Homo-oligomer: A and B are copies of this chain.
């Protein structure tokens, strides 16, 4: 009765997904609406629900069901096979770690996150260092327990980007780095400051709210199954079959919320485009963090910073903000494509951003293979910043302490950001090969052509393929740095031209 067992698997996964959705609502609330005084009680609730979800995911009856299905896959349909194999793969990773290690690890991460907040505030890397030491050791141990025969960093990377390996990512990043470093060195401040001020001024937040909502809706975000709220650190989450975006407004700079909204809308379109009939199962779940990021970057950068997009957007923006009456499309495009080396990753432009990621990738692989010690981290960070971006942080707060990822135990996460950029550039080329140049529909505010193509080739396939195989299937070849480099080189020419 493999089909009866498969139905039971789907029912169990759906129940786990219901619980996971409730957890995401609690977490969304924590980042947005929760009154500050509720922090401890909400943390307790999140802890209780996480433990319940973990119990369900590791219940003996569930393990037995998954193992039974995985041992006899002959009668399964191709999509059922995906559901079984991906569930089994995740489960196997999970059960190779004993409960004591899981608890120790999550306590360590919670503690280190707290220490990181103070260490960053106080610019005190020394306070965080012993926790990073323990995190590196624990992640090495985790990787060894999951698969002692493979490169430990690859085992960690796969938690975020299944199918990716250092063997493919490292040369791709090296090519990006070797081309971008000399290009970035050419960027001077003068050209960029020329564009400054164009989309700055006074933009009332209420008007921005309506404007950003209209942009997200026009791009294709379905507000009958979605929301757009505000958070200090914008993010997107899926509760049930509804997707909730957040953004952040700067009353003095129109670009700030707009590109945050477009980025989150890209994530939201992916989530809304997943197969509703498969919700909660691998076939109705996004492929990887890198593919997710490709969707956000595609709408934010490839589409949202293009001249075609601004040909559509500027009239709308002028209606909302009359002070833009004299602003030209050219000036707006230059204003949203400024580039120069900067210290903080989350504020970096499209061109320098990838070097921030590559630096982190090189450091975290070295931490895991033991060629770099935690105590040497700040110095090597600063050295690489000088080498890649030509600038040096004066404090660790603006250097190695800026991101929460390592302090949260997320080693292997950073590459997915740059992979997202690499994938996005490939996808746009593939889309244009199929659809013709998309500048024309985009300039007319017709985004459905591109969105439908993404729906068909990326969103609806769920986890049918892992990321590298998906890119191969959609674009016809393995992802390389070239499309992204070509895109960034065009951007640099644009900045130089005027």
Q: Which A residues lie at the B interface, using CB under 8 A? A: 14-15, 18-19, 21-23, 25-26, 29, 33-38, 40-42, 44-45, 47-49, 52, 222-227, 239-242, 279
Contacts and interface: CB of A to CB of B under 8 A. Distances in A.
Identical subunits present: 2
A18 B15 CA distance: 18
Contact of A22 (B33, B40, B49): B49
B242 A19 contact: no
A45 B19 CA distance: 7
A56 to B, nearest CB: 9
Contact of A21 (B35, B37, B45, B47): B45
Contact of A242 (B15, B34, B224, B279): B34
A245 to B, nearest CB: 11
Query: A-B pairs with the 3 shortest C-beta distances?
Result: A41-B240, A38-B242, A18-B48
Contacts of A36: 224
16 contacts: A18-B45, A18-B48, A19-B49, A21-B41, A22-B23, A35-B224, A35-B227, A37-B222, A37-B241, A38-B225, A38-B240, A40-B240, A41-B239, A41-B241, A41-B242, A41-B279
A33 to B, nearest CB: 6
Nearest to A44: B18
Given A21-B45, A35-B227, A38-B241, 15 more contacts: A18-B45, A18-B48, A19-B49, A21-B41, A22-B23, A25-B29, A35-B223, A35-B226, A36-B224, A37-B241, A38-B242, A41-B239, A42-B240, A42-B242, A45-B240
A240 to B, nearest CB: 3
B239 A29 contact: yes
Nearest to A40: B241
A26 B242 CA distance: 13
Contacts of A240: 38, 40-42, 44-45
Contacts of A37: 222, 224-225, 241-242
Nearest to A52: B52
Contacts of A45: 18, 21-22, 239-240
Q: Chain A binding site: helix, strand, loop or mixed by DSSP?
A: helix
Contacts of A48: 15, 18-19
A226 B279 CA distance: 33
A361 to B, nearest CB: 37
A337 B100 CA distance: 64
Contacts of A52: 19, 52
Interface centre among A34, A222, A223 (most CB of B within 10 A): A34
A69 to B, nearest CB: 22
A279 B279 CA distance: 35
Nearest to A39: B240
A222 B47 CA distance: 25
Nearest to A226: B35
Nearest to A34: B242
Contacts of A239: 29, 34, 38, 41-42, 45
A49 B16 CA distance: 10
Contacts of A226: 35
A34 B227 CA distance: 8
A281 B411 CA distance: 41
Contacts of A25: 22, 25-26, 29
Contacts of A222: 37
A239 B33 CA distance: 12
A411 B15 CA distance: 32
A326 to B, nearest CB: 31
A132 B92 CA distance: 52
A98 B443 CA distance: 64
A37 B244 CA distance: 13
B18 A22 contact: no
A470 B417 CA distance: 61
A21 B224 CA distance: 26
A14 B48 CA distance: 9
A238 to B, nearest CB: 10
Contacts of A22: 22-23, 25-26, 45, 49
Contacts of A40: 240-241
Contact of A225 (B33, B35, B49, B279): B35
A22 B42 CA distance: 9
A272 to B, nearest CB: 10
